[in-house]
Amino acid sequence: MSYGSLDDDAVESYREAGAVLVEAMNEAREMVEPGRTHLEVAEWAEDFIRESGAGIAFPVNVSVDEEASHATPGRDDDTEFGEEMVCLDIGVHVDGYIADAAVTVDHTGTDDLVEAAETALSAAVDEAGPGVEVGVVGQAIEETIRGYGYTPVLNLSGHGVERYDAHTGPSVPNRGVDRSVELQPGQVVAIEPFATDGRGKVGEGTDEEIYELQHERSVRDRRARQTLERIAEFDGLPFAARWLEGDGVDMALRRLKRQNVVKGYPVLKESDDALVSQAEHTMLITEDGVEVTTAGIHGFD
């Protein structure tokens, strides 16, 4: 099987990242149950990834009910799961080569909302391949979700994945688009349908626990300088505020944000406060099809 511009080492690293992610996800999703805390699940998954010899591509996202993305617990967060819809989004890298996947665990009784996203993902994987326009993939997602009586989240999309960068082109929409780019051999893409019983738009909330280095520059404040040295260890990938330790670190992080050294990722929420489900796989585009690196997650393939 030919992988276009990807060499054998890159392909193997993408596969290894996917294998670690599948193990982490299968265990973590079983931990999502009433009475257990968000922080316990996130830290377990992140520790598992590190102990497996891989790296964390971004903080484990634990999004609840109307939250669609960018939610991760804070340092001392004791929030427990309840009768909620919980999306887990996990990213793993091996030598910078990333796997990204998400599942939704439902404790609300709205099982077909989860099924809508998972079936849409399956339809998208079946549609994807070299020479296929991303708008055609989006059409498969939209038709599947609307067939369940729900709405795709229209202003979120799948994305390309490159070394040490989990969000690159091409954008893979969650709706049909008339004119769009074609998938090419050698590309790695993460396809992630979001389904909702709202109108299908998300906006930024006020909570913010995930950050990313934006510009490396000198800073005068000693604490901010020390914090920046720690941030540099994350290889330019997103990090959680709770990963930083020490007195004054939160103030230093705010200072770095004001100076545009780091940027924050506010939690994205469905604008009607409606429930959101998500399903996601990462795949390599080959000369004659696709290889899903995150296949094997319990509940969907």
* Active-site choice (38, 159, 208, 209): 159
Establish whether 229 is a catalytic residue.
Answer: no
**Angle CA(18)–CA(19)–CA(22) in degrees, nearest 5?**
85
| Cα gap 145→118, rounded to integer Å | 9
* Active-site choice (16, 65, 67, 89): 89
Establish whether 100 is a catalytic residue.
Answer: yes
**116 CA to centre of own chain:** 18
Q: What CA dihedral angle connects 236, 240, 243 and 249, to 10 degrees? A: 90
Establish whether 107 is a catalytic residue.
Answer: no
* Active-site choice (46, 100, 106, 209): 100
* Active-site choice (192, 197, 208, 270): 192
* Active-site choice (40, 43, 80, 167): 167
Do 196 and 120 form a contact (C-beta atoms < 8 A)?
no
Do 61 and 278 form a contact (C-beta atoms < 8 A)?
no
Establish whether 167 is a catalytic residue.
Answer: yes
Do 245 and 159 form a contact (C-beta atoms < 8 A)?
no
Residue of 218, 267, 239, 40 lying closest to 249 (CA atoms): 239
Establish whether 192 is a catalytic residue.
Answer: yes
- DSSP secondary structure of 210-234: EEEE------S-HHHHHHHHHHGGG
| Cα gap 204→214, rounded to integer Å | 19
Angle between helices 134-147 and 111-127 (to 10 degrees): 150
| Three-state SS at 277 | strand
Residue type at 220 in one-letter notation = R
Q: Which two tokens stand for residue 3?
A: 């992988």
| Cα gap 264→240, rounded to integer Å | 10
What residues are labeled active site?
89, 100, 159, 167, 192, 280
